Homo-oligomer: A and B are copies of this chain.
Amino acid sequence: MAREGGGNILPLSNCKVEFLDKCDGNKVWIILQDNKEISGNLRAHDENFNMIIDNVREFENQKNVGQRESILLSGQKILMVIPGSEPNYSE
């Protein structure tokens, strides 16, 4: 599973933009603290992980607990971002 032999570790700044840009249809899946998750379409973001997300679905403990049209998500509570993906929890 490891890329043995490794390679160069790139500075994140370019990488992060490219990483988020390649989201399929801008889909993004965001893991927050306390077993909360958000999925939706990424409209905009800044370097502090703040994001505007459309077509939002909210999850708690892997259960869908709500939908929202658009939100401004604070980057401070984000644990990780998974681009081009969405949860496939049964609803």
The interface residues of chain A, by DSSP majority, are classed as mixed
In the complex, are the beta carbons of B74 and A80 less than 8 A apart?
yes
Kindly state the separation between the CA atoms of A54 and B75 in the bound complex, as whole angstroms. 21
> Which B residue's beta carbon lies closest to that of A33?
B77
Kindly state the separation between the CA atoms of A75 and B55 in the bound complex, as whole angstroms. 24
Kindly state the separation between the CA atoms of A76 and B76 in the bound complex, as whole angstroms. 7
Q: Which residues of A are at the interface with B, using a C-beta cutoff of 8 A?
A: 1-13, 15-16, 19-21, 23-27, 32-34, 38, 41-46, 49-52, 54-55, 57, 68, 70-83, 85-86
The 8 closest A-B pairs by CB, nearest first: A12-B46, A15-B44, A6-B26, A6-B25, A10-B44, A72-B81, A12-B44, A4-B25
